[in-house]
Structure 1
Amino acid sequence: MEHELTAMMDYVRVSFKTHDVDLILEKVVHLKKAYMQELESGFYGYIGTFQLDQIKVYYSKPGDSRGILVEMSGKGCRQFETFLKARNKTWFDFFQDCLNLNGKFSRVDIAIDDRKTYFTVPHLLEKVQNGEAISRFRKSDFNGSVSIKDGSNGGTTLYFGSKKSETYLCFYEKNYEQAEKYDIPIEDMDDWNRYELRMKNERAQKAILSLMKTNQFLDIAMQVVNNYIRFADKEEEKPRSKWETSQFWQDFIGDFGRLSLLMNPEEEFYEKTKRWLNNSCAPSMKMVVEADQVLGTNQLSDMVTNAEMTKKQEKMLDVWLGEVKDMVYI
């Protein structure tokens, strides 16, 4: 049976005051350099990158205080879990490896999937518009879509906080997003909400330190949610701070005690590149194949035989053909 309330790491960014890339690759991400692409460019002021698809390690020039930065997007987190699994490790082990080398977390995102759906996101929006959201945030934003054909709801997203602030919450209807992505009728999708907790800088660092003290993942989620938002039922004769918490919110928070950190490893790497090949190159290759069949030529095979792979493509091939266990430092 699928868990009704689960959490996943959805984004990680952590920096180190060192220029020893080999140390970070071996002791933090535990990935062998032989399987990683090196790019002579980076983001955030870094001059170069070692990457394995969406797992990225940026490095700076000697003397630059930026040191080294490890960054994983949501996709990168799923890919990294493949390597954690191969080493029989968890996210807690990764966090400890980072702290052992004085890593400083500058962004940590947690995604909570709610398949029980304690509430609908449109209902939360109504509560906000009715002044029944008690929050440390000054305002919230929202967006949604409506079908022109029949006026049906296309999904609602509700945001709390500023994207520039150290804490930012996002609540949205994941089933609508997935239905649109895979062109599935919404009626064929089960109820599914997602709540994203995004923490930056000092808030992110404190969250990881707190997490490692308790070794309980639910604590970090509860701290963020309880500290920043509460939905209540309006009572005209009382000040807002004294309003009773709505029952649906009590049920939701109450079940946080059963929240577990889910790992969902993905062994598919460079899917974006393969999709590009399929969508952009495959039709042209088919054209040449059909011409070869009619003309009795071997143009396509000659093209492939004479082609030279770039270093990037050679690394990609190594990953596609390699065994996961061979890519990691145990």
Structure 2
Amino acid sequence: IEQKYGTTLYLTGKGTRLFEKALLEQNITWHDFFQKARQYRGHLTRLDIAINDKWGLLDMNDLVKAVQEKRFWSKSKSYAVHGNVDDGWTVNFGKSPFVIRAYDKRKEQASKGFDTDVQNRVELELHQDKAEYVIDEWFDQHNNKTLTEITFDILYTYLWFTDNPIEEKLLKADRVRDTIESSVEPMPAWLLLTALGHKMKFVRQPKEQSIERIEKWVLESVVPSLAVLKKTGHWAEVIEAMNNAELSSEQQKLVKATMINAITQANQKLTINFEKPKKRYQEI
């Protein structure tokens, strides 16, 4: 019956990059952040981990063909193929609470008008207990594994591609994974990806804020809520809150840099002298 209060933090890909900037300013790593969240009884409802293939190790056409020809083994019997050659393929293995997804990241971004140096991406989408399991493993001081090692251990355990079709009798063996590995050659590209996996790094890519990015976010995400407040008579409180808001040092630097840039541009276009007068004078 008692009302419980809490906060939900939902981060998109771009949001994660901006949030990392805030963490960096406080000298906090993701590991530190999750530990702090646990101290306040926080828990994960979803965790996405992306493995970026920037070298073109995988060929999505080959991966789709392998699925169609039953040249793969997955712990989950559920899988689905979406897309096409022109727009890019997406292959899903499993369903909530755990999905492994491989797709053509470059074509996916191109369809949105963006460019990227990532050619393909393999994602682990984990919900509830599966997401908490990854963090538990990361915090476990006994195994002392990095997040990258944990990620590839999971990938290796749940999914494997082969060079030849897998016979039905092998899929029914007691130790399916071991039997397949000992009798069917692996797909070279998938073997290479998983082998190189433990040499990959967990990368943070904090993005600097800009006035343009803030404005775009406000226009897309905040303006509708502000319109509600304005139409219901709460606009004065919003203005007062903005006037009294305390800016961080980074935000103050951003404001100062923007003002200096505006003054410089205005000075160039209008030939107005914005410099402080060096001497006092009186009108005659």
Q: TM-score range by the shorter chain?
A: 0.5 to 0.7
CA distance change for structure 1 residues 200 and 316 in 2, over 3 Å: closer, same or farther? farther
Give the letter aligned to residue 228 of structure 1. Answer: Y
Distance in 1 between the 2:79 and 2:206 partners?
Answer: 33
CA distance change for structure 1 residues 183 and 195 in 2, over 3 Å: closer, same or farther? closer
CA distance change for structure 1 residues 210 and 172 in 2, over 3 Å: closer, same or farther? same
Correspondent of 1:172 among 103, 111, 130: 103
Q: Is the 8 A contact 1:211 1:219 kept in 2?
A: no
More strand by share: 1
Q: Which moved more, 1:171-180 or 1:106-115?
A: 171-180
The percentage of aligned residue pairs carrying the same residue is: 26
Does residue 249 of structure 2 align to residue 323 of structure 1? yes
Does residue 25 of structure 2 align to residue 86 of structure 1? yes
TM-score normalized by the length of structure 1: 0.58
Aligned residue pairs total 224
Map of 1:23 onto structure 2: none
Q: CA RMSD in A?
A: 3.4
Does residue 151 of structure 2 align to residue 216 of structure 1? no
CA offsets 1:271-290 (integer angstroms, 9 cap, x no match)? 38527869xxxxxxxxxxxx
Correspondent of 2:127 among 188, 200, 223: 200
Give the 5 Å matches for 1:15-34. none
Give the 5 Å matches for 1:292-303. none
Q: Is the 8 A contact 1:83 1:325 kept in 2?
A: no
Give the 5 Å matches for 1:1-330. 63-65=2-4, 67-145=6-84, 153-162=86-95, 165-182=96-113, 192-213=119-140, 214-234=144-164, 239-240=170-171, 241=176, 242=180, 243-268=184-209, 271=213, 273-274=215-216, 311=238, 322-324=248-250
Q: Over alpha carbons, which structure has the higher Rg? A: 2
CA distance change for structure 1 residues 275 and 103 in 2, over 3 Å: closer, same or farther? closer
Structure 2 counterpart SS, 1:176: helix
Q: Which structure 2 segments of 5+ residues have no match? A: 221-234, 253-284
Give the letter aligned to residue 23 of structure 2. Answer: L
Structure 1 counterpart SS, 2:164: coil
Q: Is the 8 A contact 2:72 2:166 kept in 1?
A: no
Structure 2 counterpart SS, 1:181: coil
Distance in 2 between the 1:255 and 1:199 partners?
Answer: 22
CA distance change for structure 1 residues 317 and 166 in 2, over 3 Å: closer, same or farther? farther
1:227 CA displacement: 2.2
Q: Is the 8 A contact 1:218 1:260 kept in 2?
A: yes
Distance in 1 between the 2:87 and 2:244 partners?
Answer: 40
Q: Which structure 1 segments of 5+ residues have no match? A: 1-61, 147-152, 279-307
Map of 1:300 onto structure 2: none
Q: Which has the higher contact order (CA 8 A, sep 6+)?
A: 1
Structure 2 counterpart SS, 1:105: coil
Structure 1 counterpart SS, 2:56: coil
Give the letter aligned to residue 262 of structure 1. Answer: V
Q: Is the 8 A contact 2:148 2:201 kept in 1?
A: yes
Give the letter aligned to residue 205 of structure 1. Answer: E
Q: Is the 8 A contact 1:106 1:201 kept in 2?
A: yes
1:215 CA displacement: 4.9
More helix by share: 2
Give the letter aligned to residue 57 of structure 2. Answer: Y
